[in-house]
Structure 1
Amino acid sequence: MVKINVLVLFLTVFMCFGQENYTVTTSKIKEAKIYYSGGIVKQSFSADVFPGKNYIIIKEFGRNSGIDISSFKPDKKITLIRYESYNDNAYQYSDKIGKSNDTDAVNDSIEFYRKSYKKIEQDLSLIRNSIGIVQKNQGLQSPNSADILKMIEFNQKTLKEFYTEETSLNAKLNATQSKISALENRRNISSKNSGLSNILVLQVTSDKKQHVNFEVNQNIQGASWHPYYVIKSNGIQSPLKILYKAKIQQNTGLELKNIPIKLINGSFSSEDKPYELDRWFLRTERDYYISNQAFQREKSSDNERANSIQEVAVIGNSRISQKTMKTEINLNKDTVIPTDVEVSEDINEFNVTTGYKYFATPKLENKTFLLAYIKDYSKYNFLPGNADIFMDDMLIGSVNIDTSQLTNEMLISLGSDSNILTKRELINKQTKDLGEKEKIESYSYEITVKNNKDTTISLELKDQIPLSTAENIKIELINTDNAAYDKSSGFIIWNFNIKPNETKKIKFGFNVTLPKDLITVDIK
């Protein structure tokens, strides 16, 4: 009786822990974070597990290259064993999901044609072996005319038949493979339409029946976004209209919708955390030689020792680094980010009170650029990116938004204006001797500015004089014409207004005192 009870107990335990249990559930995305490169998707699902081995079939999980078994976080005590993903070929689990009717017939056809394909391959191999045997035995020892005629007749019949059969089998092989490919494609399409794509099967074991909730953090390698802008201006009397946009893409295999989606600048890194200080041990030269007798110096006088002592601070593996701060942008809840397609989303739109000025460096080129400057630009949370510039609803070009400017103003170039003309000319050059060893060279320039616009403009004009690299060469600015001059850089800057159709001329020059045996070579 005792033996029977033990046997019953053993069978009961075996039935509980030896059988395989299948549970079907659906994953839901809770949140997505997308960085310039990479991202994180948080998913959740729940399932009932039973004593023994369990296969949890998770639908709508998406592509899962960015996870491992440790990514699954259950809220109950179970053992995670392994997982398998089926992005497009989960038909083997169709009966578990209740979708077998649509795929069974297709699977049977695929199996039939695969067997046919294997049979054709075998026949083709036999034909090719036969051709090889015939070709190796074509050589005859001292053939006569009759033997040669027989060989020709044999080639015309037997080898010709073999070659014809080989061609026919190759055609059948290709046709069979085409049918298999078409059926597999049909099966994959049917799987997607019936909810059999993007399936993950998680294998776990449990010691009891329980309901388990899972959280999964999935790293997305194929996600990215970058900011870009559309800047519109209707002239220097109106504010700038800035459209703040984002180009986003992701390859999870699922649509991101009806969830919180955050765009974060920078690249995703699981190691993005602040550093901690290690302990700092203070060492002195005296401590070092006392503690290490093998390298102890010979004793010296107190004065010599006092002169040789230096305090040295040794930092062992200490790293102090300011963590890069991230900017988070929360998209609207109704935002939809499809998979495998780049989309553009509006982030913000605002009018910016802007100052305008024209800027020219006629020494480099005879172009005048319109600059817009935005004060206190940090309050708009701009990120580096490209911007399309529109003037009076016409696209005139693209510029890069630089947020690393170390001033309170951000300068944005709105392109060159052909109605503001500039010209720079060297109008006079003279050389005079200063005794037997030195000479003085004088250079005079004239800059002409013509305003062909119908409005008064504010213009900043920039030029320069050379800097001396030797004590025996002296350079002096003359005739600044009310310019601001920076001696350390040699830059000369004029700021003035110029009326409609007005022409303004500016003159400046400089003297160079240098030894007679030296020649200036780059003054134009």
Structure 2
Amino acid sequence: MLKIKWLLFSFLTINVYSQENFVTTASSIKEVNIYSSGGFVRHSFSANLLPGKNYVIVNDFGKNGVTDISNFKPDKKINILRYEYYNNNLSFYSSKLKSSNKNDQINDSINYYKKLNEVLDQDLVLTKNSLDIIRKNQTLENPSPAEISKLIDYNKINLKDLFKEETNLQTKINDNKSRISKLENKRYESSQEVNNRTNNTIVLLVNSDKKQHVNFDVNQLIQDAYWAPSYTIKSNGITTPLKISYNAKIRQNTGLELRNIPIKLINGSFNGEDKPYELDRWFLRTERDYYVSNQAFQKPPIDKSVKSVSVQEVAIMGSPRFSQKTMKTEISLDKNVVVPSNVQVTEELNEFEVSTTYKYFSTPKTETKTFLLASIKDYSKYNFLPGNADIYMDDTQTGTVMIDANQLSNEMMISLGSDPNVLTKRELIKKETKSLGDKEKTEFYAYEITVKNNKNTDINLELKDQVPLSTDEKIKIQITNPDKADYDPSSGFLIWNLNIKPNETKKISFGFNVTLPKELVILDIK
């Protein structure tokens, strides 16, 4: 008797552990970190497991992510075997779940109206045949007035009814075709809805030794996500502060809408490339060894397989918080921010006014335009990151510049574009050659720079030019007239800082001598 009970218990145990349990749950996003390239999502979900093999179907998990089994952190002792996306084995999971399919009812309705139209089509053919028979038998030979009157009465009754029946049948057929078309569209939309939902569903296969409720935490690496800082800089004149709008352009393609969750924007990349490189062996090569590959001078290849996506741009607002970590800048977005999937959004991070020093800058040797520069001191306190800035002067966009936040000085210079009301012109007004005996000669060059201020306000202008440098000890260069310029002999640069009144014209003159052997010819001096 005891042996029978033991066998029965063993059979029941084997039967329990051999069953497959299918349980459906939904993932909840706890946190999202988006880097300049890539990022990660922290999920959590729970499931009631039975002893044996469990298929945990997790909805709202998202796509375009990379998750290793080790990233699934259960709070109970279980054995995680594998995971896959639901659509990879759609027919298997659909059959096991036996979920009601809304399309089944739609398909039944479509088939009903199609069969109804088959009957109506047959009736329509019979009606048309009857009309043809009547038309073909309406010819009378030498009819009497009574026969003609009788034929007219017959047509009024029978033909009229047949025409009416033909019209009614055709109307019913067309109405049914319209119903079928609407149902087919509804079926397609329903299929797309199901497909979009199951695209974001994964299935986790786990073994459990007992019945238990298990909570899971998951860190999912996002491949197709990024954010980039951008700016809008506005100035209403050189006597007013700059108005700067600090924005973030954000895109993610997880398949999920990020709503009411903590989102952090972090500068830098979240990938395997953000690591130091080790030195490899350095083979010294000559022209005979050109085919030898020096791995010491090559970085590992970067994966550029992420596809670009055509996106729509949406503006969103929030109240972010900036924090400077040891190596990264983190921006915590307001929880009200919504970041849809596959749509680029622009989030306004901050807006402020900056006290600014303005000056004009020109290098007439290479460019006749004069540029307005804005200087921002102690710019590091604004947490600027490198990014594009749209420049507006007096509410008119003048161009786009790159904000360089990695300058070593405490002062950031931003170009606000060229000003056509400040004109510069550089001319070679004199070139003279003199002999210095049999072996040497001297060449003299004189220049004049004209500056005209057509504005109705004073301007401060930094004017920059240069004197050439010699790379040959036989060639000597000497400046002759720096005209109060700040001259640096090591670089050859001349800099004038000028204050120019409204409608004032100023002229700057400078020149230099070149002493060199007679047989040499100087090039590129204009």
Q: So what's the TM-score if we normalise by structure 2?
A: 0.73
Cα distance, 1:98 vs structure 2: 8.0
Query: Which residue of the partner structure matches residue 194 of structure 2?
Result: 191
* Aligned 1:488-503 pairs, distance under 5 A: 488-503=490-505
What amino acid is the match of 1:13? T
Q: 1:61 to 1:84 in 2, by over 3 A?
A: same
In 2: Cα distance, 1:77 partner to 1:477 partner: 84
Query: Which residue of the partner structure matches residue 52 of structure 1?
Result: 52
Contact between 1:103 and 1:190, CA under 8 Å: does it hold in 2? no
Query: Which residue of the partner structure matches residue 30 of structure 2?
Result: 30
Q: 1:341 to 1:403 in 2, by over 3 A?
A: same
Query: Which residue of the partner structure matches residue 478 of structure 1?
Result: 480
Q: Which runs of 5+ in 2 are unaligned?
A: 112-180, 279-324
Cα distance, 1:373 vs structure 2: 1.0
Q: In the TM superposition, what whole-angstrom CA distance separates every residue of 1:74-110 from its partner, at most 9, and x where no partner exists?
A: 1111001122213699686568778515244468999
Contact between 1:106 and 1:187, CA under 8 Å: does it hold in 2? no
Cα distance, 1:518 vs structure 2: 1.6
Contact between 1:89 and 1:188, CA under 8 Å: does it hold in 2? no
Query: Which residue of the partner structure matches residue 39 of structure 1?
Result: 39
Query: Which residue of the partner structure matches residue 6 of structure 1?
Result: 6
For the pair 1:374 / 2:366, whether they are aligned, the reply is no
Contact between 2:86 and 2:199, CA under 8 Å: does it hold in 1? yes
Contact between 2:64 and 2:224, CA under 8 Å: does it hold in 1? no
In 2: Cα distance, 1:190 partner to 1:387 partner: 40
Contact between 2:64 and 2:253, CA under 8 Å: does it hold in 1? no
Contact between 1:371 and 1:411, CA under 8 Å: does it hold in 2? yes
Cα distance, 1:57 vs structure 2: 1.6
1:70 is paired with a residue whose SS is helix
In 1: Cα distance, 2:277 partner to 2:470 partner: 47
Contact between 2:483 and 2:510, CA under 8 Å: does it hold in 1? yes
1:257 is paired with a residue whose SS is coil
In 2: Cα distance, 1:204 partner to 1:432 partner: 95
Query: Which residue of the partner structure matches residue 349 of structure 1?
Result: 351
Contact between 1:64 and 1:218, CA under 8 Å: does it hold in 2? no
Query: Which residue of the partner structure matches residue 120 of structure 1?
Result: none
In 2: Cα distance, 1:110 partner to 1:220 partner: 42
Q: Of 394, 406, 409, which residue of structure 2 is paired with 1:407?
A: 409
Cα distance, 1:197 vs structure 2: 5.5
Q: 1:104 to 1:89 in 2, by over 3 A?
A: farther
Range that drifts further, 403-412 or 488-497: 403-412
Q: In the TM superposition, what whole-angstrom CA distance separates every residue of 1:289-341 from its partner, at most 9, and x where no partner exists?
A: xxxxxxxxxxxxxxxxxxxxxxxxxxxxxxxxxx9922211111111000011
1:191 is paired with a residue whose SS is helix
1:348 is paired with a residue whose SS is strand
Contact between 1:102 and 1:190, CA under 8 Å: does it hold in 2? no
In 2: Cα distance, 1:437 partner to 1:110 partner: 104
Q: 1:96 to 1:244 in 2, by over 3 A?
A: farther
Query: Which residue of the partner structure matches residue 512 of structure 1?
Result: 514
Cα distance, 1:510 vs structure 2: 0.5
Contact between 2:246 and 2:351, CA under 8 Å: does it hold in 1? yes
Q: 1:502 to 1:328 in 2, by over 3 A?
A: same
What is the total number of aligned residue pairs between the two structures? 411
Cα distance, 1:69 vs structure 2: 2.3
Q: In the TM superposition, what whole-angstrom CA distance separates every residue of 1:404-428 from its partner, at most 9, and x where no partner exists?
A: 3221111111111010111111111
In 1: Cα distance, 2:272 partner to 2:521 partner: 61
Query: Which residue of the partner structure matches residue 219 of structure 2?
Result: 217
Contact between 1:361 and 1:463, CA under 8 Å: does it hold in 2? yes
Q: In the TM superposition, what whole-angstrom CA distance separates every residue of 1:198-228 from its partner, at most 9, and x where no partner exists?
A: 2222111111111111011111111111111
In 2: Cα distance, 1:110 partner to 1:35 partner: 49
Q: 1:271 to 1:493 in 2, by over 3 A?
A: closer
What amino acid is the match of 1:61? F
Q: 1:457 to 1:89 in 2, by over 3 A?
A: farther
Cα distance, 1:187 vs structure 2: 4.6
Q: 1:217 to 1:443 in 2, by over 3 A?
A: same
In 1: Cα distance, 2:339 partner to 2:499 partner: 50
What amino acid is the match of 1:415? G
Contact between 1:94 and 1:196, CA under 8 Å: does it hold in 2? no
Q: Of 241, 246, 249, which residue of structure 2 is paired with 1:247?
A: 249
Query: Which residue of the partner structure matches residue 458 of structure 1?
Result: 460
1:256 is paired with a residue whose SS is coil
In 1: Cα distance, 2:89 partner to 2:393 partner: 53
In 1: Cα distance, 2:2 partner to 2:98 partner: 44
In 2: Cα distance, 1:233 partner to 1:471 partner: 50
What amino acid is the match of 2:473? E
Contact between 2:85 and 2:199, CA under 8 Å: does it hold in 1? no
In 1: Cα distance, 2:353 partner to 2:269 partner: 30
In 2: Cα distance, 1:477 partner to 1:336 partner: 64
What amino acid is the match of 1:191? V
What amino acid is the match of 1:55? Y
Q: Of 200, 203, 210, which residue of structure 2 is paired with 1:201?
A: 203
What amino acid is the match of 2:381? K
In 2: Cα distance, 1:202 partner to 1:109 partner: 36
In 2: Cα distance, 1:107 partner to 1:197 partner: 23
Q: Which runs of 5+ in 1 are unaligned?
A: 112-177, 277-322
